[in-house]
Homo-oligomer: A and B are copies of this chain.
């Protein structure tokens, strides 16, 4: 920590802060600059220090130095994490395609689309059984029945099932059917849920909160990792900004940034990230070019009659072209699809 004192801080205030730093188990090193004094607080930069230092008398600001995440950091674990379940492998040379409808609507629908997607190159099947909806009056998903439909689709196709879990008490039930537990953007800081998913040991796909900083995103992953579950995928799905021509703003620079700071694989969701079906394929290609390890995509046989998110769903025909385009871009960055 670097404690920056105000230009008019008194010697008494400076000495008081130095003692306060010592009291917190750190070693203060006072540096008198031309205009201001700064105090380096040396030692383990644990959580809570910032908050303990900031309110001091004469303090202008406190600058943390170390990243607060540990287990997610590429500094502690140099080897890149590969998350693998059934044929779905996220991380490594091959880019995975996770696809499916927003909501599981019926067994017939999900089995049918699963077969199509498998044939087109997907190794993961997404589909919501529990749906977090902005309004209490919207369709909330088929719940456990939906999970059974997903399991039926897996039985037919071998696709790994990726589905959202919305509450800690649902984790055991969802884990019984799913191969990957998805934590939605709205729940990125639902800590009980993160811990329950951590405890389950199941692969987790953690979506970035729509206004979470990358540091907060990695700290949310830390909650899962800290429970002894190493199988975490980070999913960029767009952030909320002033832009109004897309549903969210998809900041692809997080892909190479996360690849540098963390060993966890990175998934990109261009469906939610744009909210417009026509923008999905170009952003899928861009994500692959930027270094994404997997894509998660909303695909629906008949977007106009989808029970949710029709506007951002692509058809199987578009998905087929998208996979082919991504295959070519992947080859251009020495990877494959």
Q: Which of A55-74 contact B (CB under 8 A)?
A: 55-57, 63, 65-66, 68-69
Q: Mark the stretch among A108-116, A119-127, A173-181, A326-334 that contacts chain B.
A: A326-334
Task: Find chain B residues with CB under 8 A from A44 CB.
Answer: 34
Contact for A250 among B68, B211, B252, CB less than 8 A: B252
Determine whether the beta carbon of B273 is less than 8 Å from that of A283: no
Determine whether the beta carbon of A257 is less than 8 Å from that of B279: yes
A92 CB to nearest B CB, Å: 18
**Nearest opposing residue in chain B for A315, CB measure:** B55
Kindly name the residue among A45, A139, A279 whose own CB sees the greatest number of chain B CB atoms within 10 A.
A279
Determine whether the beta carbon of A52 is less than 8 Å from that of B305: yes
Task: Find chain B residues with CB under 8 A from A333 CB.
Answer: 285, 325, 328-329
Of the four ranges (under 10, 10 to 19, 20 to 34, 35 or more), the interface on chain A belongs to 35 or more
Chain A 131-158, CB-CB to B under 8 Å as 1, else 0, gives 0111111111000000000000000000
Task: Find chain B residues with CB under 8 A from A77 CB.
Answer: none
Task: Find chain B residues with CB under 8 A from A310 CB.
Answer: 51-52, 54-55
Given A55-B311, A65-B36, A331-B332, A139–B283 Cβ distance below 8 Å?
Answer: no
Given A4-B65, A31-B29, A192-B167, A40–B43 Cβ distance below 8 Å?
Answer: no
Q: How far is the CA of A185 from the CA of B47 in the complex (A)?
A: 21
Contact for A243 among B47, B239, B243, B313, CB less than 8 A: B239
Task: Find chain B residues with CB under 8 A from A215 CB.
Answer: 245
List the interface of chain A (C-beta within 8 A of B): 2, 4, 7-8, 20, 29, 31, 33-36, 38, 40, 42-48, 51-52, 54-57, 63, 65-66, 68-69, 75, 132-140, 166-169, 186-187, 189-193, 209-211, 213-216, 219, 222-223, 226, 239-246, 249-257, 260, 273-274, 276-279, 282-283, 285-291, 303-311, 313, 325, 328-329, 331-333
A sample of 22 inter-chain contacts (CB < 8 A) reads A4-B65, A29-B31, A31-B42, A33-B40, A33-B42, A34-B43, A51-B308, A52-B304, A52-B310, A57-B304, A134-B216, A135-B219, A186-B190, A187-B190, A240-B242, A241-B242, A246-B257, A252-B252, A253-B279, A285-B290, A286-B286, A288-B289
7 nearest A-B pairs in the assembled complex, by CB-CB distance = A211-B211, A54-B311, A289-B289, A328-B332, A256-B282, A186-B189, A55-B310
Seed contacts A169-B169, A253-B273, A255-B286; 12 additional CB < 8 Å A-B pairs: A38-B65, A48-B138, A54-B310, A136-B223, A137-B222, A137-B226, A243-B251, A245-B254, A245-B257, A286-B289, A289-B329, A325-B332
